[in-house]
Amino acid sequence: MIDQPALLEVRNLVKHFPVRRGVLRRQVGAVRAVDGVSFHIHHRETLGLVGESGSGKSTLARTILRLFEPSGGRVIFDGEDIIALDAKALRRIRPRMQMVFQDPYASLNPRMTAGATIMESLQVNRVGDASKRPQRVRELLDLVGLPPKSLNRYPHEFSGGQRQRISIARALAADPEFIVADEALSALDVSIQAQMVNLLQDLKDELGLTYLFIAHDLAMVRYLADRTAVMYLGRIAELADSEELAQRPMHPYTLALLSAAPIPDPVAEAKREHIVLPGDVPDPGNPPSGCRFHTRCSFATPVCQEQEPQLRDLGTVGKPHLVACHHAEKVRQHGATASSVTQPVKTPPVGRPASDHSL
């Protein structure tokens, strides 16, 4: 994986939202939602992105796709800087980068049938000719595990999982190479989430897709993602192979997130350390000085208040492990005493059709 060229490369990406006050609406500050983020994703790789609400995950995703215009930085997609593209050039490349949104109830037009929703994506992205598009719509529905009779049904006639399948089919209609799944499973029941995880994995294998998978569920990310990035207050705190990060976390925030994830072993669950972070995520309009996590960190020392840590590689040869922490070595030793912080979740393959598909 490391020797392959990156499909997507994000370099020092910044997105600040201006804060305006007064009658003249003068800018008095800025919400630093994304504040200098860098990472890459290889072809056919899944990068998981986790963090608390308010950490900037969704803003990062939308800025990568230029649904939000960035305040700075670069996004290199297949060798081309999409931030520098004009509107015409962006329309040309946009079908290759698609998004599946969090809420399947809000992301579908209630006045359009499932077939019309997918057909619209084919038409907008100019995929195929008019005579072949109806057949392509049926193929896409089958690909995501929905029967042909769903073609003429409206969103309110589907369950949440079925609506999300329609959203996935709509994204696939553009024949993309890269898909951002922004909390795409969080609104679904746990049993349906397992089916959807397996569907996403099947589609990745069949179509050669590349994912940026955003979620709160660390066990799900560990199962689906090749590598995982942990985001806190607009910055990347840690980035490593998913299994490596789960077994040997080096950032105190990652350690706390992992300790909050339940494991299916009552004995181990009762014995392991649970880390409760004090307070809430600080105001992104006025982040703390130095390390942004120091106000909630039990490892913090005076240097954490004074100097902002930069990402450094503490991994092995051929297996990078990036962490932005002054005391990463101490955190690693602490985490080693509780190496079973969380267990990998292995969900059984879900065949098609399944219970969620029946209408």
The domain boundary, picked from 180, 209, 225, lies at 225
Residues 148 and 209 in one domain: yes
CATH number at residue 89: 3.40.50.300
Residue 3: burial class (beta carbons within 10 Å; 0-12, 13-18, 19+)? exposed
Residues 162 and 266 in one domain: no
The lowest-confidence range among 74-78, 156-160, 278-282 is 278-282
Residues 275 and 217 in one domain: no
Q: Tell whether 145 is covered by a domain.
A: yes
The model's pTM: 0.88
3-state secondary structure of 336: helix
Token reading at 351: 């065949």
What is the count of structural domains for the chain?
2
Please enumerate in sequence order all residues whose Cβ is within 8 A of that of 45, keeping only pairs 6 or more positions apart, or say none: 1, 7, 210, 211, 226, 227
CA 5 vs CA 1, 9, 209, 240: distances in Å: 9, 10, 15, 18
Average pLDDT of the residues in 342-353: 42
Q: Are 1 and 9 in contact (CB under 8 A)?
A: no
Instruction: Taking the CA atoms of 48, 52, 53 and 54 in sequence, report the sign of the dihedral they define.
Output: negative
Residues 84 and 169 in one domain: yes
Residues 276 and 184 in one domain: no
As a whole number, the mean pLDDT across the chain is 88
Residues 40 and 181 in one domain: yes
Q: Tell whether 358 is covered by a domain.
A: no
Average pLDDT of the residues in 48-62: 93
Q: Tell whether 347 is covered by a domain.
A: no
Q: Tell whether 14 is covered by a domain.
A: yes
pLDDT band at 342 (very low <50, low <70, confident <90, very high): very low
Residues 81 and 137 in one domain: yes
Q: Tell whether 301 is covered by a domain.
A: yes
Residues 168 and 314 in one domain: no
Q: Tell whether 161 is covered by a domain.
A: yes
pLDDT band at 102 (very low <50, low <70, confident <90, very high): confident
Residues 271 and 201 in one domain: no
Q: Tell whether 11 is covered by a domain.
A: yes
Examine the pLDDT at 106 and tell me if it is beyond 90: no
Query: What pLDDT, on the 0 to 100 scale, is given for residue 29?
Result: 87
3-state secondary structure of 241: strand
Q: Tell whether 230 is covered by a domain.
A: no
Q: Are 213 and 47 in contact (CB under 8 A)?
A: yes
170 φψ region: left (φ > 0), alpha (ψ -120 to 50), beta (else): alpha
Query: What pLDDT, on the 0 to 100 scale, is given for residue 177?
Result: 96
3-state secondary structure of 91: helix
Residues 204 and 287 in one domain: no
The parent domain of residue 141 ranges over 6-22+29-225
Q: Give residue-wise pLDDT tens across range 295-328.
A: 999 899 999 999 999 999 998 888 899 999 999 9
Query: What pLDDT, on the 0 to 100 scale, is given for residue 309?
Result: 95
Residues 265 and 212 in one domain: no
Q: Give residue-wise pLDDT tens across range 260-297.
A: 777 766 776 666 777 878 878 888 888 999 999 999 99
* Alpha carbons 212 and 59: distance in angstroms, whole number: 13
Residues 181 and 291 in one domain: no
